[in-house]
Amino acid sequence: MNEVVIFWFRRDLRLSDNAGLHAALLSGKPVLPVFIFDKNILSGLDEKHDRRVDFIFQAVQDLSEQLRSFNSGICIKYGTPDQIFSQLTVQFNIHAIYCNRDYEPYARKRDEQIEQLVTAQGIEFRSFKDQLIFEPGEILKADQTPYTVYTPYANNWKKKFTDKHVAAFSSVSNPNYFTRVPSNDIYSLEELGFFSTDLTYSKPEIPYSIIANYDKTRNFPALKGTSDLSVHLRFGTVSIRQLVSVALETNETWLGELIWREFFMSILYFFPRVTDQCFKPAYEGIRWRNNEEEFERWCSGTTGYPIVDAGMRELRSTGRMHNRVRMITASFLTKHLLIDWRWGEAWFASQLLDYDQAANNGNWQWAAGCGCDAAPYFRIFNPYEQTKKFDKGLEYCRKWIPDLNEVSYPPPVVDHSFARQRALDTYKHGIESGKS
């Protein structure tokens, strides 16, 4: 059997400007592309009409289609990665496994396990930086510890940045580099225990004119004022190097958002305890009310606060929500309703098409006030003022709440001024007792 090099696709579902794939193709051995639908992850998803799984499925089919023009394809598997690699090592004469690094706690453990498994059989395991411009550990304070505040992190990021960080990895051209892929194991979502959804995968398009005006339009949910690229960044159907190049040419505010993404990845990497704990330990002292009925009203978009309800309904019916509205809904849950940010985080995680553990966790902790670089807890968003500022004509609210002016629309779940004072008292008291 001829030796092959496996390229293991994960959060990098593209052929062009893909660091690990590029390196695999230069290895001199034929490359066998592999994608694994990870049973450990899929079995944790209760909803079987999951747009994320559908997105991945369609993106992988698209890759497979592109690879067909090189007489290749993707070996698509379903199982736990250790089972699959145990099978692949029997099926193929594997020289090495190449992949791009993934920094989430689960992924790190998984990769360590696979590395051990295959190196014990004399197979090399090589991983590459692809998902980020600077990976955790590359941007550190002078004393070599991680930043926990965004602005100095971003300043250092910009200082260290040079054009070489966005040099693209040349795309695939020589068909002989790929190996023929034997028949796939997976042909449909149903074989994974999932169903198709309303999602239609389309390749990312970079909205240059939106990005150019980003600083002026980004806060208005009724406008098409943001890039809508988060899902592509999440699954790597677009290259971060390409996007940073665009940002540098067009809009510094937008570059700042891409840096937030790397900042939160660094936080999760160095402080994995944030997965289920407040970054600021004193905030564990807060006595959350955790009223289940009110939580249900928040989830279903029936709080009687139009901007909150519009966002929650948009989320449920599309898997998307504008950033400004994410901030308002998250603040409302944690401050107005005094429901534990972990409940909200989990709900977003189950619904968001662009769900990303680091960004979701970092932003939830920011909104709840307990995060590394959070706004002070006593700054409480007023949903009415936010609406006046960012959805003055109620265009966004009306889009998602057709019965806004009808009797069927519920009254507010709680009075704003009352809830504000209650949040101030509860937080103050909680943080004090959490300190002791």
Residues that bind ligand FAD (CB under 6 A): 218, 226-230, 233-234, 257-258, 260-261, 264, 323, 326-327, 330, 348, 352, 354-356, 359-360, 363-364, 367
To the query of whether residue 347 is one of the catalytic residues in this protein, the response is no
Q: How far apart are CA 212 and CA 144, in angstroms?
A: 35
Crossing angle (nearest 10°) for helices 292-300 and 341-351: 30
Q: Residue 84 or residue 333: which is nearer to ligand FAD going by CB? A: 333
String of DSSP letters for 207-224: -HHHHHTHHHHTT-TTS-
| CB 268, min distance to ligand FAD, A | 11
Q: Residue 179 or residue 334: which is nearer to ligand FAD going by CB? A: 334
To the query of whether residue 323 is one of the catalytic residues in this protein, the response is yes
| CB 270, min distance to ligand FAD, A | 16
Q: How far apart are CA 83 and CA 376, in angstroms?
A: 47
Radius of gyration for the alpha carbons in the chain, expressed in angstroms and rounded = 23
Residue 62: C-alpha distances to residues 42, 89, 238 (Å): 21, 26, 14
Q: Residue 66 or residue 253: which is nearer to ligand FAD going by CB? A: 253
Which of 115, 138, 156, 260 is flagged as catalytic?
Answer: 260
CB count within 10 Å of CB 162 equals 8
Which of 254, 298, 343, 364 is flagged as catalytic?
Answer: 364
| CB 289, min distance to ligand FAD, A | 19
| CB 150, min distance to ligand FAD, A | 10
| CB 72, min distance to ligand FAD, A | 30
Which of 156, 213, 323, 382 is flagged as catalytic?
Answer: 323
To the query of whether residue 341 is one of the catalytic residues in this protein, the response is yes
Q: How far apart are CA 193 and CA 204, in angstroms?
A: 27
Q: Residue 6 or residue 211: which is nearer to ligand FAD going by CB? A: 211
**Cβ neighbours of residue 169 under 8 Å, at least 6 residues apart?**
17, 18, 19, 21, 22
| CB 201, min distance to ligand FAD, A | 16
String of DSSP letters for 150-209: HHHHHHHHHHH--GGGGPPPPPP--GGGBPPPPPPS--SGGGGT----S---------HH
Which of 219, 251, 257, 294 is flagged as catalytic?
Answer: 257
Q: How far apart are CA 390 and CA 11, in angstroms?
A: 34
CB count within 10 Å of CB 411 equals 7
Strand order in the sheet with 31-38: 75-79, 31-38, 3-9, 93-100, 124-128
Which 3 state secondary structure label does DSSP give 372?
Answer: coil
Which of 254, 298, 341, 366 is flagged as catalytic?
Answer: 341
| CB-based contact 185:76 (threshold 8 Å) | yes
Pull the structure tokens for residue 60.
């992988």
| CB 402, min distance to ligand FAD, A | 24
Q: Residue 81 or residue 362: which is nearer to ligand FAD going by CB? A: 362
Q: What angle do CA 219, 161, 105 make, to 5 degrees?
A: 70
Q: Is 233 exposed, middle or buried (0-12, 13-18, 19+ CB in 10 A)?
A: buried
Partner residues linked to 32 by β-bridges: 6
| CB 236, min distance to ligand FAD, A | 12
Q: How far apart are CA 21 and CA 33, in angstroms?
A: 9
Q: Residue 85 or residue 355: which is nearer to ligand FAD going by CB? A: 355
Catalytic residues, by residue number, are 257, 260, 288, 323, 341, 364
